[in-house]
Amino acid sequence: MKTPSRVNILLVDDEESNLLALEAILEDLGQNFVRAHSGTEALRQVLNNDFAVILLDVQMAGMNGIETAAAIRSRERSSKIPIIFLTGVVKSDDMMFQGYSAGAVDYLMKPIRPDVLRAKVEVFVELGLARLRLQEEAEQISQLNAELERKNADLEEKTAELQETVSELESYSYSISHDMRAPLRAMEGYASILLDEASQGLDPEHQSYLRKIAGGARRLDNLIQDILSYSQLSRGELKLMPVDVDRLVNDIVEQYPGMQPPEADIRIEGKLPTILGNEASLTQCLANLLGNAIKFVKPGTTPRIRIRAERKNGHEVLWFQDNGIGIAPQDIDRIFGIFVKIHSPETYMGTGIGLSIVRKAAERMGGQVGVESEVGQGSRFWLRLPAA
């Protein structure tokens, strides 16, 4: 933005020589000087232009300076312009009262001292320049606000379109994923039936093929189930209510034989709290965290998981400490991404969605999930949720 450098100064006197003298005194200020030879001409000027200050002779033929000042002050456009009276008449109390009543800010006696006049006018020039800067800045801000409003409107429109597209894609993917499960279950079922009822008539190689068909169908079905779970967490409203974590963990362990001795050693240290969450979503979180803790151990190692809780800043933090293989530093931030696998499928089976489900569910419940881990030293996953 270009900084304003000039303002208008109105010089009013019915003597041309006086106007020339005023311009000469003020020339060093480098401003725009406008002359008026009468009160009437001065009024026409203030109707069409803005002025930083008016130098007005009191004694003029026709409309005098007092009358001119009163007329200038009576109009809204010019009512705030500062007026300095110039007079060759000895100032009296009555004259000063009339002048100040008409809107004068100062009186200067003729002959005028150039340094005094220049100093007084310079003050109003600076004020005028500051006002111009403020006006230009206000206009620029107004233009920026208008542009911002336009961009916000465009963004809102594009966001609405994107949300509609995402919703359609989610519905489509949910429908497709759901429909794919039926033929997969049929493939697994028929392959299992052939293995049970017709395996005697098949050589080992063909039996291996059937087991691969059944296993592949089962793995793909598990992947689809995880995708559906992740999709459901992104859809619709998630109702939050008090959930007893202690009861929920015990229920999950009882439902899965692989989480019970001698397959695994899961212990709760102290009583787990009640949190504000969604029981179905929290069940997915806990089941995935416990399932991973059992899965990712060295061959021949009995999984050992310790669960405890602590209160921090109005939240309950659940800790899941295991004796697993641990996570490399470069993989800590990656493991919560969807379809991320840091181990080969031949070593550790999985869909790569489990921890994505945990993170999505935690966020939908107003919480967070994280992990502390070292390779070969096990991991400590934490789940922070609002306290009930």
Pair (255, 361) in one structural domain:
yes
Give the integer Cα–Cα distance in Å for 78 and 270.
Answer: 81
Pair (246, 380) in one structural domain:
yes
By three-state DSSP, how is residue 327 classified?
Answer: coil
Q: Is 119 a domain residue?
A: no
User: Does the structure show a pLDDT above 90 at 384?
Assistant: yes
Beta strands in 245-338 (DSSP E): 265-268, 274-277, 304-312, 315-322
Q: Is 149 a domain residue?
A: no
Q: Of 222, 212, 221, give the one whose Cα is nearest residue 180.
A: 221
Q: Is 145 a domain residue?
A: no
What is the percentage of the chain residues whose pLDDT exceeds 70? 88
Query: Which residues are CB-neighbours of 302 under 8 A, at least 6 positions away?
Result: 262, 263, 264, 265
User: Does the structure show a pLDDT above 70 at 95?
Assistant: no
Pair (251, 361) in one structural domain:
yes
Residue 5 CA, distance from chain mean position: 39
User: Does the structure show a pLDDT above 80 at 283?
Assistant: yes
Pair (378, 305) in one structural domain:
yes
DSSP track, 334-360: TTTSTT--SS-TTTS---S-HHHHHHH
Pair (257, 367) in one structural domain:
yes
Q: Which residue has the higher pLDDT, 90 or 254?
A: 254
Would strands 379-386 and 315-322 be described as parallel, antiparallel, or unpaired?
A: antiparallel
Would strands 315-322 and 304-312 be described as parallel, antiparallel, or unpaired?
A: antiparallel
Pair (40, 168) in one structural domain:
no
Would strands 53-57 and 379-386 be described as parallel, antiparallel, or unpaired?
A: unpaired
User: Does the structure show a pLDDT above 80 at 177?
Assistant: no
Q: Is 196 a domain residue?
A: yes
Which token pair is 54? 């008016």
What is the CATH number for 319?
3.30.565.10
pLDDT in the model for residue 31: 93
Q: Is 2 a domain residue?
A: no
User: Does the structure show a pLDDT above 60 at 90?
Assistant: no
Give the chain's count of helices (H) and strands (E).
9, 12
Give the integer Cα–Cα distance in Å for 155 and 145.
Answer: 15
pLDDT in the model for residue 298: 93
pLDDT in the model for residue 10: 95
Give the integer Cα–Cα distance in Å for 207 and 318.
Answer: 46
Residue that terminates a domain, selected from 217, 234, 251: 234
User: Does the structure show a pLDDT above 60 at 1?
Assistant: no
| Phi, psi for 69 (deg, rounded to 5) | -60, -40
Q: Of 340, 342, 336, give the one whose Cα is nearest residue 358.
A: 336
The DSSP letter of residue 111 is S
Query: Which residues are CB-neighbours of 261 under 8 A, at least 6 positions away?
Result: none
Pair (188, 278) in one structural domain:
no
Beta strands in 134-235 (DSSP E): none
Give the integer Cα–Cα distance in Å for 83 and 98.
Answer: 13
Q: Global pTM? A: 0.51
Tell me which residue range forms the domain holding 47.
8-112
What is the CATH number for 81?
3.40.50.2300
User: Using omega within 30 degrees of 0 as the cis cutoff, is the peptide bond preceding 204 cis?
Assistant: no
Q: Which residue has the higher pLDDT, 267 or 65?
A: 267
Q: What is the pLDDT of residues 128-145, one digit of tens each?
A: 888 888 888 888 899 999
Q: Which residue has the higher pLDDT, 355 or 225?
A: 355
Q: What is the pLDDT of residues 240-253, one digit of tens each?
A: 999 999 999 999 99
Q: Which residues on neighbouring strands pair with residue 168, listed in sequence order?
A: none
Give the integer Cα–Cα distance in Å for 59 and 139.
Answer: 41
By three-state DSSP, how is residue 381 classified?
Answer: strand
Q: Is 3 a domain residue?
A: no
Q: What is the pLDDT of residues 346-361, one digit of tens each?
A: 677 777 788 988 999 8
Residue that terminates a domain, selected from 112, 135, 166: 112
Pair (44, 104) in one structural domain:
yes
- Quote the radius of gyration of the chain (alpha carbons, Å): 43
User: Does the structure show a pLDDT above 80 at 266?
Assistant: yes
Q: Is 187 a domain residue?
A: yes
Residues in the chain: 388
Pair (257, 381) in one structural domain:
yes
Q: What is the pLDDT of residues 26-83, one digit of tens each?
A: 999 999 999 999 999 999 999 989 999 999 998 888 888 889 998 998 888 888 899 9
Q: Which residue has the higher pLDDT, 170 or 359?
A: 359
Pair (268, 167) in one structural domain:
no
Pair (259, 370) in one structural domain:
yes
CB 36 within 8 A of CB 10: yes
Residue carrying structure tokens 């009358």 = 67
Q: What is the pLDDT of residues 291-329, one digit of tens each?
A: 999 999 999 999 999 999 999 998 999 999 999 999 999
pLDDT in the model for residue 305: 97
Question: How many independent structural domains does the chain possess?
Answer: 3
Pair (198, 280) in one structural domain:
no
Q: What is the mean pLDDT of the chain?
A: 87
Q: What is the pLDDT of residues 108-127, one digit of tens each?
A: 888 889 999 999 999 999 99
Q: Which amino acid is at 30?
A: G
User: Does the structure show a pLDDT above 70 at 166?
Assistant: no
pLDDT in the model for residue 251: 92
Q: Is 72 a domain residue?
A: yes
User: Does the structure show a pLDDT above 90 at 214?
Assistant: no
Q: How many other CB atoms are found less than 10 A from the CB of residue 362?
A: 22
What is the CATH number for 203?
1.10.287.130
CB 59 within 8 A of CB 38: no
pLDDT in the model for residue 123: 92
